[in-house]
Structure 1
Amino acid sequence: MMLQAQSYPEPQPLAAHGPGKDAGTMMLQTPVQAPAPAQAHAPAQAAQPQAPQPPAPPHPQQAYAGAGGYVSPIPVRPTHLGHALLSEWTKIRSVRSTIWTLGVMLLLCVGIGLLAALAAGSDRELDPVLGLGFVGVLLGSLCVITLGVLSISSEYGTGMVRTTLTACPSRARMLTAKAIVFFTLALVITTVATGLVALLDSAMLNGPAPTADQWLRATVGAGLYVALLGLLALSVGTLLRHSAGAISTMMGVVLLPMLLALFLQGESLKDVQQALIEYSVPSALATLYDIPFLSTGPTGWTPVWILAGVTAVTLGGAYAAVLQRDV
């Protein structure tokens, strides 16, 4: 606002003010008016009250709480098991070990099953028809066991488990997510492989038509048994936290009973030899295909329930170890 110039009264002649007073004296006695404040000459519209303007939102980097803490612009949501499942699925599908192990498993199951069907041909009658898929599934299960160990032990070996537990502090939730994701993946892939082999065998081989129970045990039952073996391997890997040691332990669980049974000779060890053969992993898989090694062992779906019980106990020990031990 610019200040307006204030005019002052001009000095009056001497006669107008009486005798004895000159013009200079009259000018000194004339009161001087002070300039009005600038607000008095401001435009009328400036004095009108304006509507309050909303405050501008603070910059994310400058948003502070009352106590002085930083307030993140990212919305904070409570985490749950679904987030852990998504994280574990992202990890297991993005590593090369998953592609290699499951790829080799599919090649062994389908390739050996197809070669066995071609070698047998349709000239002779086979009973059961689906029994030729046993060898491929047994060899493919070793790949699933390896993947089960690596899915947890590799994180301990590389130190990635620290990042995992930082993002998911609940260790029980982390292990649950790993178990669910791995078990589901192994079950689906193995069941697809066994189902394809069963279709090829039934189409290429000559023999009595398999019953519904035989179909289920040779496809879903075999897939469930191999997936449980992989989950058992994951539990052993959690307990040992060492890839080579856990894989060696699982190979011993699968193959050692049959090897020991070959060297246990004599009447005094006959019962031990028979038990080792009946409850070994190869004999259990063969039972699902109706070709058991011994007729005195478990039958039907019993091998699956036995392995499920052993896996549940071992997985419980893995939970206890994860909750008690440090990273």
Structure 2
Amino acid sequence: MSTPQPPMPQTAAPNWQAAPGSSYPTYTSPIPVVRTHLGHALASEWTKIRSVRSTIWTLGVFVLLVVGIGLAAAALVAANSSDGSLSGESPLAFGFFGLLLGSMCIITLGVLTTASEYGTGMIRTTMTACPTRSRVLLAKAIVFFVVAFVVTLGSAVLVALADVAMLDAREPSTQEWLKGTVGISLYIALLGLLSLVVGSIIRHSAGAITIMIGVMLAPLVMALFMFSESLQDLQQALFEYSIPNQLSVFYAQSLTDSGPSGWEPLWIMLGVTAAAFAAAYALLEKRDV
């Protein structure tokens, strides 16, 4: 019969404590730690917008439409007009047709700047790199607006100079030059910025582009089919405040005798875009990515 062994004494678990001081007293990270700011977000968005093929294609088609149609319209008028028949006309007005069609490209690019990231899932990476969502939206807006304005201004000035040289018309005034180049470029850039904000709200490229094309063309098309006398006031308002008519105001070629004039279309578009931007900001802060 075996003798029972006495129980082994139990030792207390060691209480490990780190030695005072740094665990790696001689290590210094080679990567500088800096506080991120809006400049970093701007650099990121600039890299995105210039490195994707959609930017090259949409802006390339935009320049082709604006310059091609603007010069073609002026050449057609010059070939079929007699001496002195255009003496009272501003040659800048013939750039309107190209800019009207080209604005579709700016709308498309504006939507893709935000909505495409939701479609590909890239927005998760963007928000991880920059958790401050308002900063991301602001950086996208600034970069896009500058790109759209510069490209539109360059195209509008080129067409304006060519039309003045081709047509035997009066010399435009300084105010006409300013509105027909800088003014309309600001308006189209704001229209594209509105598209960017709608893309952020809808988060779907095809849906946002469809909405913006409807905003641009639907009021004018609806007004064309309002034949009832009871709808005349509504028809007049749709004509006056349609985007094509507001674009024509910059060339003093309004479709109606009343409605916005001078620089009023620019302030209207600025107010609408600011309201949409505020709505996009509020939704961005509440939604999950």
What is the TM-score normalised by the length of structure 1? 0.78
Provide the C-alpha distance between the structure 2 equivalents of 1:109 and 1:65, rounded to a whole number of angstroms.
64
- Amino acid in structure 1 at the alignment position of 2:106: V
* Matched AA of 1:264: M
Q: What residue is the counterpart of 1:200 in the other structure?
A: 162
In structure 2, the partner of 1:275 is 237
Q: CA deviation at 1:74?
A: 1.2
Give the percent of matched residue pairs that are identical in Structure 1 and Structure 2: 59
Query: In 1, distance between residues paired with 2:49 and 2:243?
Result: 26
Question: Counterpart of 2:270?
Answer: 308
List runs of 5+ in structure 2 lacking aligned partners. 1-20
Distance 1:71 1:265, change over 3 A: farther
Structure 1 gaps of 5+ residues are 1-63
Distance in 2 between residues matched to 1:167 and 1:281, nearest whole Å? 37
Tell me the secondary structure at the aligned position of residue 296 of structure 1: coil
Deviations 1:31-76 (A, max 9, x none): xxxxxxxxxxxxxxxxxxxxxxxxxxxxxxxxx94499x9743111
Distance 1:159 1:65, change over 3 A: farther
Query: What's the counterpart of residue 91 of structure 1?
Result: 48
Secondary structure of the 2:168 match is coil
SS of structure 1 residue aligned to 2:33: coil
Matched, 1:248 2:192: no
| Partner Cα distance (1:178, 1:108) in 2 | 25
Structure 1 residue corresponding to 2:32, chosen from 75, 87, 90: 75
Instruction: Give runs of aligned pairs for residues 143-222 of structure 1, distance below 5 A.
Output: 143-222=105-184
TM-score normalised by length of structure 2: 0.88
C-alpha distance 198-233 of structure 1, shift in aligned 2 (>3 A): same
Give the SS at the match of 1:252: helix
User: Deviation digits for residues 213-243 of structure 1, max 9, x if unmatched?
Assistant: 1001100111101000000000000000000
Query: Are residues 324 and 120 of structure 1, via their aligned partners in 2, closer, same or farther at CA, if it must alter by over 3 Å?
Result: same
Structure 1: how far apart are the matches of 2:161 and 2:286? 48
Residue matched to 1:117: 74
Distance 1:188 1:144 in 2: 12
Change (3 A) 1:161 1:318: same
Structure with larger Rg:
1
C-alpha spacing 1:245/1:71, structure 2 compared with 1 (3 Å): farther
Pairing 1:261-272 to 2, within 5 Å after superposition: 261-272=223-234
CA distance in 1, matches of 2:28, 2:231: 72
Q: Give the number of equivalent residue pairs.
A: 263
Deviation at 1:208, TM superposition (A): 1.5
Shift of residue 267, structure 1, vs aligned partner:
1.1
Which structure has more relative contact order (CA 8 Å, sep 6+)? It is 2
Corresponding position of 1:105: 62
Q: Separation in 1 of the partners of 2:222 and 2:24? A: 70
- Contact 1:65–1:71 (CA<8 Å) still a contact in 2? no
